[in-house]
Amino acid sequence: MTQHVPLLKITGLGKSYDGPRATGQRHALQGVDTTIEAGEFVAVIGPSGAGKSTFLRCINRLIEPSEGSVVFEGRDITHLRRGDLRAVHTKIAMIFQNYNLVYRLCAIQNVLHGRLGYKNALAGALGLYTEDEKARAFELLDEVGLGEFAYRRADQLSGGQKQRVGIARALIQDPKIILCDEPIASLDPKSSRMVMEHLCRVTRQHGIACVVNLHQVDFALEFSDRIIGLREGEKVFEGTPDEVTPQVIARIYEGDEEALVDVEVAGPAPLASGVPVADVSAVGVGATAPGGAQ
């Protein structure tokens, strides 16, 4: 019988930084184990400083892990040389909070940048894309509702539109998984919802797994198949949205008033037990994000 190989298997993942002299090493991430299956939509939640970005960036080695392993499609990529990692990075796309677009270029050119990982340096520098790639870039912009903005300069797009260009750029890589580091943190609630809806729909349609760092717990509950809760660098919860009880929210956020502000928990006793978590507003975890362009 052939053994099942998960898309991504993460074992004992950790990252330490040098702390102030007297304190020695500080763990930004410690002992995180999980697996991500093809096509899954997983949200990572936790207070500010819990290690969400570190976790995501250790997966594709934008940050080098200090310990543990990342096995992608059965291949241990933890110690791959940079040159070999390039091919892996075409299959692990990333979406950033600040969009990472080239603002003087138009939307379609930014989408085409998603193909650079497949090109040699010269073709990349000259922007030599095939007709198929160009047609695909148009198709993908259309899929995220931006067909008519293909030739609009990126700096003339709203925040939500920029992030949708980011989604199309990730998709054109033909990735197996997209890592999204706070993709809606700079957007207002309406744009945030639109971006989450597009992200969820297109990744499901294309059978792509997605791991999304979120401050907005209610979006995590609404859109994910599974939720990972981090606190002080450690995984303190992993389960389906149905399993996220007020006690689970308390385990992840309690005692961290700053973090509670971050997730906009309202009311005097937001973490009181016995509140049906299906109604997220009942535990006071709101969807609002800091204001930003739509």
- Residues at the interface with ligand ATP (CB under 6 A): 17, 28, 46, 48-54
Torsions phi, psi for 236 (to 5 deg)? -110, -5
Q: Which is nearer to ligand ATP, 56 or 137 (CB)?
A: 56
By Cβ distance, which residue is nearest to ligand ATP? 28
**Least distance in angstroms from the C-beta of 27 to ligand ATP:** 8
Q: Which is nearer to ligand ATP, 233 or 246 (CB)?
A: 233
**Least distance in angstroms from the C-beta of 146 to ligand ATP:** 27
> 184 is written with which tokens?
């809606």
**Least distance in angstroms from the C-beta of 44 to ligand ATP:** 8
**Least distance in angstroms from the C-beta of 56 to ligand ATP:** 8
Report how far apart, in Å, the C-alpha atoms of 71 and of each of 42, 78, 204, 252 are.
17, 7, 22, 27
**Least distance in angstroms from the C-beta of 20 to ligand ATP:** 10
Q: Which is nearer to ligand ATP, 48 or 156 (CB)?
A: 48
Cβ atoms within 10 Å, residue 261: 11
Torsions phi, psi for 230 (to 5 deg)? -110, 145
Q: Which is nearer to ligand ATP, 143 or 182 (CB)?
A: 182
Q: Which is nearer to ligand ATP, 2 or 23 (CB)?
A: 23
Q: 69 has which bridge partners?
A: 11
Q: Which is nearer to ligand ATP, 15 or 113 (CB)?
A: 15
Q: Which residue has the tokens 């308390």?
A: 250
**Least distance in angstroms from the C-beta of 52 to ligand ATP:** 4
**Least distance in angstroms from the C-beta of 15 to ligand ATP:** 7
C-alpha span between 147 and 280 (Å, rounded):
35
234 in Cβ contact with 30 (< 8 Å): yes
C-alpha span between 53 and 56 (Å, rounded):
5
**Least distance in angstroms from the C-beta of 54 to ligand ATP:** 3
Q: Which is nearer to ligand ATP, 29 or 144 (CB)?
A: 29
Q: Which is nearer to ligand ATP, 143 or 218 (CB)?
A: 218
> 1 is written with which tokens?
């019988």
